[in-house]
Chain A
Amino acid sequence: IAGITQAPTSQILAAGRRMTLRCTQDMRHNAMYWYRQDLGLGLRLIHYSNTAGTTGKGEVPDGYSVSRANTDDFPLTLASAVPSQTSVYFCASSDSTPAPQYFGPGTRLTVL
């Protein structure tokens, strides 16, 4: 059982480029989340999805988009990357109730 996988593990990206971070879970969890973690700021919610076919904005959604075509996958897209999007990105999933979230290993993204 893999749990949650993320790809790529790390990426260096030129500013202005488009980038999609991938996230897949095999736990059949309904809810999925994307966070960014920056030093001193903790985990901040970017977007979430309560169930396949629905998405919502979190605390810091600007510059990011998501889709949830099925239960397992929840990709995060940066349409035109900027240096302030340099961060570690974590995907997480949980059952529908306010339940513990389980995190993927993260993607380290550097935008130059």
Chain B
Amino acid sequence: RKEVEQDPGPFNVPEGATVAFNCTYSNSASQSFFWYRQDCRKEPKLLMSVYSSGNEDGRFTAQLNRASQYISLLIRDSKLSDSATYLCVVNGSSANSNSGYALNFGKGTSLLVTP
């Protein structure tokens, strides 16, 4: 099983729609969770961290379900500028492992918001 799995999409939604992405992770010891956004031919950029109690940043809401080992990202009132690939990111093993302060990146979910 891959460390982090995401539906690659693409998700095609009209402007103003609400869209949700889910992501599952395999390491039950993971403690840190993030969503990144990557625009075409650009570097990944941190969108938001995901906290145990869930958190919101404007139109974006992130949720964590430790029991089921999944993370979700909800985007409300989608804008054209939300079109991008969204990467689910989970910390890997501890710093004593052979991967440093490793983060495991999902392959991303592609979102296209249309007029």
Q: Which of B43, B105, B107 has the most CB of A within 10 A?
A: B43
Shortest distance in angstroms between A49's beta carbon and chain B's nearest beta carbon? 7
Q: Cβ of A102: which chain B residues have Cβ within 8 Å of it?
A: 46
Q: Which residues, 62 to 99 on A, are CB-close (under 8 Å) to B?
A: 88, 90, 94, 96-99
Which candidate, B10-18, B66-74, B75-83, B92-100, is the interface stretch facing chain A?
B92-100
B86 at the interface (CB under 8 A from A): no
Contact with A along B28-47 (1 / 0, CB 8 A): 00011010000001111110
- Kindly identify which residue among A56, A94, A96, A105 contacts B42, using a CB–CB cutoff of 8 Å: A105
Q: Cβ of A43: which chain B residues have Cβ within 8 Å of it?
A: 44, 87, 105
Contact A42 to B105, CB < 8 A, known contacts A50-B95, A105-B42: yes
21 A-B interface contacts by CB (under 8 A)? A42-B108, A43-B44, A45-B99, A45-B102, A48-B99, A48-B100, A50-B100, A50-B101, A56-B98, A56-B99, A59-B99, A88-B41, A90-B43, A96-B101, A98-B32, A102-B46, A103-B45, A104-B43, A105-B42, A106-B42, A106-B43
Q: Contacts A94-B103, A100-B46 given; 16 further ones with Cβ under 8 A?
A: A33-B100, A43-B87, A45-B99, A45-B102, A48-B99, A48-B100, A49-B100, A50-B101, A56-B100, A58-B100, A90-B44, A97-B101, A99-B101, A100-B34, A103-B44, A104-B43
Measured CB to CB, the residues of A under 8 A from B are 31, 33, 40-43, 45, 48-50, 56-59, 88, 90, 94, 96-106
